Structure 1
Amino acid sequence: MDPIYKALIVCTNHTDYPTKPQKTGLWLSEATHFYDELADRNLPYDIASPNGGPVPIDQKSLERRDTVNEKWYNNPTFRHKLEHSLRLDDVNPTDYQIIYFTGGHGTMWDFPENPKLQEITRRIYENGGMVAAVCHGVSGLLNVKLSDGSLLIGNRQITGFSNMEEKLVRLDEEVPFLLEDALRQKNALYSKSLIPFLPYIEVDERLITGQNPLSARKVGRKVMEEMYEK
């Protein structure tokens, strides 16, 4: 019998850019493509966010033709979890063996400085669990400290949304900081694909990160591989 693991999928609640009228939020495919890999094994999961309640979806991520988005966004259970996400304060880390940070630009505002998110991440990791993140969601790892005071991402192989990608989507002036620069400042061993927006992941033992939206499925697949095939 395969062990039954449980995953915590963490999403943003933040919607506003400083100057642009468009709204941000969760980049939907970063949740659906990752979960699509877990669904193959019927893995139980919860969706959580800093404030709980409805997870805002970045409108641009809904406009793309994406059969996986359609499949899960129209799935009553998945949709209910998105619209009634758990508050991080109500999450018990011992219930989960996997934590996954979805992206969307909103995460840049409400993930990096969230002490509850850092505590949950540390406890899942130190209990032998898997920590995964994609795109801007990697910002949630910037300030996670382990019990010995060291940074989780220090001297670890990491990727995340690159400076070039931020410039190409013309949001480099809107975000509070550039993720690639911030990761390097924390002594993470940052790398990225040679060509922007192509799927790219980094695996450093129980830490798996993806560079951009197209990397979410690869992150999910790798998490499943590491959990079940080792």
Structure 2
Amino acid sequence: MRALIVCTNHTDYKTKLEKTGLWLSELTHFYDELSDKEIPYDIVSPKGGRVPIDARSLKRKDNTNDKWYHNPVMKAKLENALKPEEVNAAHYQLIYFTGGHGTLWDFPENDLLQQITRQIYEGGGMVAAVCHGVSGLLNVRLSDGSLLIQDRQITGFANVEERLLGLIHEVPFLLEDELRKRNTLYRKSLIPFLPFIEVDDRLVTGQNPLSARKVGKKVMEEMVEK
């Protein structure tokens, strides 16, 4: 088994001077669950090369972040992410979309990432995503032309969470709205920012940063322990 982890290259908000990028714990907490089983992984981003990290996600006291951010293998992969055209989907049984606000700009319209996702899923693999990374699934179509996420139980960053962060006017769209437009069975936790995941067959999604570890755990349960 091999995992493909998708990260953003985008850093700019509409007007805000602060930069965005990968929300680090959405990578580290997820991979921490896979690392117990020593599952090999690659990192891909829409443009390849260096993955920018949202500085706010580095400021938090987080032992898992510290452990992996200073891990030479992960550091090298974050500095030299693959481009989508360098990825052979047949090598992977799992694709996971990390979040961070940047993903809203460079995930949804990336045709190659959509193709890779379809190939992994239709090959019997698993598709997972967390927080804003769920935007990478918005436009994935299966071979029969249907949307991967249509009529599926799914979650992703909620409008109320975006509002509480004060970023509702800084992003190109609201993820919850777009998921609902695609006739998903969208659900969220009653209390914002608490861990919450949805599982629908080989599709696992998490609502917010604190859900990343739960997504990783569930993926491992489904793929390794069953």
Q: TM-score range by the shorter chain?
A: over 0.9
The correspondence for 2:55, drawn from 53, 56, 59, is: 59
1:129 alignment partner in structure 2: 125
Q: Partners in 2 of 1:223 and 1:180 — Cα distance?
A: 23
How far apart in 1 are the matches of 2:56 and 2:167? 13
1:87 to 61, 73, 83: 83
* C-alpha deviation, 1:90, in angstroms: 0.7
Residue 206 (structure 2) aligns with: 210
Q: Counterpart in 1 of 2:7?
A: 11
Q: What displacement does 1:18 show?
A: 1.0
Shift of 1:228: 1.3
Aligned to 1:112: 108
Distance 1:95 1:229 in 2: 21
Which whole-Å CA distance do the structure 2 matches of 1:112 and 1:178 have between them?
12
Distance 1:41 1:13 in 2: 28
What residue number does 1:181 align with?
A: 177
Question: Residue 26 of structure 1: SS of its match in structure 2?
Answer: coil
Instruction: Report how far residue 68 of structure 1 moved.
Output: 0.2
Which amino acid letter does the alignment assign opposite residue 91 of structure 1? V
Residues 1:46 and 2:37 aligned together? no
Q: 2:146 aligns with which of 144, 150, 153?
A: 150
Q: Report the equivalent of 1:20.
A: 16
Equivalents in 2 of 1:164, 1:89: separation in Å? 36
**Residue identity in the other structure for 1:44:** P
Picking from 78, 99, 104, the partner of 2:74 is: 78
One-letter code aligned to 1:141: L
Amino acid across the alignment from 2:91: D
Instruction: Indicate which of 187, 190, 194 corresponds to 1:191.
Output: 187
- Segments of 4+ moved more than 4 angstroms: none
The Cα offsets for residues 2-41 of structure 1, whole Å up to 9 and x where unpaired, read as: xxx1000000000001100000000000000000000000
Q: Match of 2:116, as an amino acid? A: I
Aligned mates of 1:21, 1:166 — CA distance in 2: 17
Question: How many Å separate the matches in 1 of 2:214 and 2:133?
Answer: 15
Post-superposition Cα deviations, 1:125-159, rounded to whole Å, max 9, x if no partner, equal 00000000000000000000000000000000000
In the alignment, structure 1 segments of 5+ residues that lack a partner are none
Q: 1:171 matched to which residue of 2?
A: 167
- 1:203 CA drift (Å): 0.1
> Can you list the C-alpha shifts for 1:68-121, whole angstroms capped at 9, x where unaligned?
000000000011111111011110100100000000000000000000010000
Separation of aligned partners in 2, 1:177 and 1:17 = 12
Identity of aligned residues (%): 73
Gaps in structure 2 of 5+ consecutive residues? none
Q: Which residue identity lines up with residue 54 of structure 1 in the other structure?
A: R
Counterpart of 1:136 in structure 2: which amino acid? H
CA RMSD of the aligned region, Å? 0.4
